[in-house]
Amino acid sequence: MASVSTMPAEGQILVNIEDMSLLKDIRKAISMVKGVGKITVPRSQKQSSYERSIKDLEEGRVYKYNCLDDLIKEIDDED
């Protein structure tokens, strides 16, 4: 018995763009292709405070103080 496979009603293609200044032109070119219905550009996901903290640790944006008074003194000195 032969099996029949059908094409999905909708498909996706992922395009990685290195130069984001070309995004507008690329979207325009893709929209001209017959059968293209909708073009979406995913937004970067917002990082949680935990994820931002880990990134700060990895990139060395961490300050150490011996006591709270030292921190307060530095804050006062910035004003």
**What is the C-alpha separation between 71 and 47, in angstroms, rounded?**
27
Q: Please report the pLDDT score of residue 42 as a whole number.
A: 77
d(CA 70, CA 53): 22
d(C-alpha 30, C-alpha 71), whole Å: 54
Q: Taking the model in full, what pTM does it have? A: 0.41
Task: Give yes or no for a contact between 17 and 23, defined as CB atoms under 8 angstroms apart.
Answer: yes
Of 41, 8, 7, nearest to 22 (Cα)? 41
Distance CA 29, CA 14 (A): 15
**Residue 3 — very low, low, confident or very high, per pLDDT cuts 50/70/90?**
low
pLDDT in tens, 65-77: 999 999 999 888 8
**Which pLDDT tens digit goes with each residue over 23-52?**
899 989 988 998 888 888 877 788 899 999
pLDDT attached to residue 15: 83
